[in-house]
Amino acid sequence: MKEPTNARKLVKGTAGAILLSALAAFVVLQVTARGEDWRSLFQVDLSQLTIAGCLVGLGWVLDAVRIQILAAALGGQVGFLTALRITLVGAFAACVTPFDTGGEPLQVYLLHKQGFEPGESTAIVTLKSLISAMARLFLVLLIPAWYLIRRRAWALPKGLETALYIGLLVYISFFGLGVFFAAYPEYIRVIMDKILNNKFMSKFISKSTADTVMEHVEKGVRDFRAALTMFLRERRSTLILISILSLITWAIAFFIPILILQGLGVAPPFAETMAIAGIFYLAAAYAPTPGSSGAAELSLAALFGSIVPFPLLGVFVLLWRSITYYLTLIVGGVTLLLTYDKKKPTSERDDGERRD
């Protein structure tokens, strides 16, 4: 199984992500913050930001635990430090690739390096991602429902309603596509066959190479289907546990803006803030820029403009992206550098453990 990315692409993606993010943050700050309002950056309650940063770290830990649990269900062992490294490196790759697409293939590759078959590592990452997507969607829909059950008015500004509907439509479409390929992985083979075996591709790829690729694809599909079937028939309790951990992870993510606003001296409406955070994660999930940079900052400013005082809006956006995005970028990047700097043979594990 070949490595799904390379250093040059990651460097370009990182540079592009930082540039777009910094430019968008600068624009928002220039529009919203007056000279005296920049002081709010130095007057923020650091204890609230520290708690928010710790919650981001807790999210990484929960993701690593999910990898461990799914790997154990397949009869393998992945040490916690190795699982955490896979989580952080994957998070970094997602931060610097369009549509956040780089994280999952890299996690599949790293799990394969731990001794799992490609289909098994794909099943682990796919199940983790699909259950996480379901948990995110469930929470986004739960908050308005909870509001209505309490017989309180749920009236979003027109712009937020539009963002919610567009985000839901795009999110459900991509989610449905993921579920389809998980349920019918054989169609991956059909698609790959059409891509590789045609007149145009024959000019660049020999018939023997195409056949070799198809053999690997077919084996991966068989292994993936076997692993997925095993999870659904024999490890349902594992899937329930993964679902609970995913719900906790996303609840943490939705709670972070509340801590940031409290740190800025703003008393945010609890349900509305978490709901808008959920809308943001839906609306910005498939932005075409690396790590949604640029689009994320502008989306945050647009979505939270209804509850964040205008002079503090730019500062709020900068703090949120620093705690959730730049912190992940830095920690994940350092982990990636350490991983490749101390690369070991395929059969070895960073924490001395081997797959059974």
Domain boundaries, the chain: 7-341
Interaxial angle between packed helices 186-196 and 158-183, expressed in degrees from 0 to 180 and rounded to the nearest 10? 90
Interaxial angle between packed helices 270-283 and 158-183, expressed in degrees from 0 to 180 and rounded to the nearest 10? 50
d(CA 97, CA 332): 14
Could you read off the pLDDT tens digit of each residue along the chain, which spans 356 residues?
A: 555 556 666 677 777 778 887 787 778 777 776 554 556 666 788 999 999 999 999 999 999 999 999 999 888 889 999 999 999 999 998 888 776 767 888 898 899 889 888 888 888 888 898 888 888 888 877 766 665 555 455 555 666 566 666 766 777 777 777 778 777 777 776 776 776 666 666 666 666 766 666 666 666 677 677 777 777 777 888 989 999 999 999 999 999 999 999 999 898 888 788 888 887 887 666 667 776 777 788 878 888 888 888 888 888 988 999 999 999 999 999 998 887 765 544 444 444 444 44
Chain centroid offset of residue 139 CA:
16
pTM over 0.85: no
14 vs 3, 179, 199, 317, CA distance in Å? 18, 30, 36, 20
d(CA 345, CA 36): 56
Q: Which two tokens stand for residue 54?
A: 């710790």
Torsion 59-64-70-73 (CA) sign: negative
- Residue the block writes with tokens 């700097």: 341
Burial of residue 138, with CB atoms counted within 10 A of its CB: 0-12 exposed, 13-18 middle, 19 or more buried: middle
Q: Which residues pair with 98 in a beta bridge?
A: 290
Q: Which two tokens stand for residue 303?
A: 């979505």
